[in-house]
Amino acid sequence: MIWYPYEQMKTMKDPYRIIDAEGVYLYTEDKKLIDSISSWWSVIHGYRHPKITKAIKDQADKFSHVMLGGLTHDSVIRLADKLKDFLPGDLDYCFFSDSGSVAVEVALKMALQYYVNQNKFERTKILSLTHSYHGDTFKTMEAGDDEDYHFILKAYGVSPNVVHVDTTIEALEEAFDKYHNELNCFIVEPLLQGAGGMRMYDISFLKRARELCDKYDVLLIFDEVATGFGRTGYRFVSDVVLPDIIVLGKALTGGHIGHAATVAGKKVYDGFYSDDPDHALMHGPTFMGNALACSAALASIEAFEEGNYMDRIAHIAELTRETMEGFTAPGIKDVRMMGGCVCIEVEDSSLLKGYQEFAYERGVFARPFLNYLYAMVPYVISDDELLKVLNTMKEWFEEK
Ligand SMILES: *Cc1c(COP(=O)(O)O)cnc(C)c1O
């Protein structure tokens, strides 16, 4: 018996059974569906990408996994070297893990220990955004601010170690003014808050955050698990505002195998680098640096570089804007777009009930949540396929 995610098992409808997948398409026994959400935003090159699939097969012919405790291997070394070049600034020090949530946990642990290693024990608090989502493990739930996912936290109340702030510069300044000497980090999903409702905000907020973090010696963490690899229209938001730690996941392997990375800058790394064994980072997921995953990630980054992806994403953004700008219908609260993401927010979630089946009949897989109907397509999508995704969204409201 499979226990499915985010579902009341008693009332959930049967999931679609996928028997094959290639490019932007998922295949069921009787349908061919464009995946409009890239399997939780990860499959940026589409399914069964030849280069990534080959890399996984070639690695499997050697070995699939060895632990990183006391051992290392070519694929993880090459991936770390690649990320060093590919990521901006001095984000050079890669700690690998098996999922985005764990990679965020590692970032938060790094931030806390960074100060503990300096005997600053008072910096116990995390600053994060309202409506943020950073994963489903416990510390990431606390850092997050999304009751719709994490209402279980009500059982023990709000964490005294997390302060949430709105995405206005005024609120940010106020929070730093009040808490700065208790904060170890400010963690954000930069520009685009995904699971909290595809909320978008301005880069000026992050520029001010960088200034305040510098002023008060607080680490800035960008959780780019969702935004990394082009989703906002920037390669990484970190290209524009450099954080102290970046977290990558989802699209890291092109969505072919689960893996994630917490990549620190030199200042953070140096905060652990010493003769004192107590200053070491005490973390080590069993499958960190998995050889299949590292091979997939390397091939994925190469495909990203070779495929003019930033141009593709700009084109997707432009066609999306042409098609969706100004669209409205009764019950629609907002239509917003950024890079390879578009979201229709409705007044009442009941308005989206039945959309998944409606889209399925038209050959599109979608998964609206709460009040949000959105698309985050694979970047290899054609114009016709993208228009089909967007027009299906519009037709749902027009045919109501
Ligand atoms: C999906 C997501 C995570 C969690 O990643 P998992 O691999 O699902 O654990 C963390 N942060 C953000 C911003 C995400 O979108």
* 237 in Cβ contact with 191 (< 8 Å): yes
Q: What is the pLDDT of residues 163-201, one digit of tens each?
A: 999 999 999 999 999 999 999 999 999 999 999 999 999
Residue with the nearest Cα to atom 15 of ligand 1?
226
User: To test the ligand 1 pocket, which listed residue (250, 287, 343) has its Cβ within 8 A of the most ligand atoms?
Assistant: 250
Strands laid side by side in the 219-223 sheet: 93-97, 260-264, 245-248, 219-223, 183-188, 125-129, 162-165
**Ligand 1 atom nearest to 104, measured from its CA:** 10
**Crossing angle between the packed helical segments 291-306 and 74-86, to the nearest 10 degrees:** 40
User: To test the ligand 1 pocket, which listed residue (225, 246, 247, 253) has its Cβ within 8 A of the most ligand atoms?
Assistant: 225
Q: How far is the CA of 265 from the centre of ligand 1 (A)?
A: 21
pLDDT tier at 318 (50, 70, 90 boundaries)? very high
Comparing CA positions, the residue from 316, 157, 331 lying closest to residue 230 is 316
User: To test the ligand 1 pocket, which listed residue (102, 104, 198) has its Cβ within 8 A of the most ligand atoms?
Assistant: 104
Residue for token digits 């098996």?
98
- Measure the CA–CA gap between 35 and 72, rounded to whole angstroms: 36
Lowest mean pLDDT among 85-99, 156-170, 207-221, 250-264: 156-170
- Measure the CA–CA gap between 130 and 188, rounded to whole angstroms: 10
pLDDT tier at 38 (50, 70, 90 boundaries)? very high
* 222 in Cβ contact with 243 (< 8 Å): yes
Q: How far is the CA of 250 from the centre of ligand 1 (A)?
A: 7
- The amino acid present at 287, given as its one-letter code, is F
Question: What is the DSSP track for 87-128?
Answer: SSTT--EEEEESSHHHHHHHHHHHHHHHHHTTT-TT--EEEE
Q: How far is the CA of 128 from the centre of ligand 1 (A)?
A: 15
- Measure the CA–CA gap between 320 and 337, rounded to whole angstroms: 8
Residue with the nearest Cα to atom 6 of ligand 1?
100
Q: How far is the CA of 241 from the centre of ligand 1 (A)?
A: 21
* 143 in Cβ contact with 108 (< 8 Å): yes
Q: What is the distance, to the nearest Å, from the Cα of residue 104 to the centroid of all Cα atoms in its chain?
A: 10
**Ligand 1 atom nearest to 99, measured from its CA:** 7
Lowest mean pLDDT among 33-37, 153-157, 201-205: 153-157
DSSP strands (E only) in the chain: 20-22, 25-27, 32-35, 93-97, 125-129, 162-165, 183-188, 192-193, 199-200, 219-223, 245-248, 260-264, 332-338, 341-346, 364-365, 372-375
Q: How far is the CA of 328 from the centre of ligand 1 (A)?
A: 30
- Measure the CA–CA gap between 262 and 221, rounded to whole angstroms: 10
**Ligand 1 atom nearest to 260, measured from its CA:** 7
Q: How far is the CA of 132 from the centre of ligand 1 (A)?
A: 11
Q: Is the pLDDT of residue 400 over 90?
A: no
Residue 288's contacts (CB-CB under 8 Å, 6 or more residues apart) are: 68, 95, 96, 97, 98
Ligand 1 is surrounded, with C-beta below 6 A, by 99-101, 104, 133-135, 189, 194-195, 223, 225-226, 249-250
Q: Is the pLDDT of residue 148 over 80?
A: no
Q: What is the pLDDT of residues 114-130, one digit of tens each?
A: 999 999 999 999 999 99
**Ligand 1 atom nearest to 250, measured from its CA:** 7
- Mean pLDDT (the chain) is 97
Catalytic residues: 6, 133, 223, 250
| CA trace torsion 75, 77, 78, 79 (10° rounding) | 80
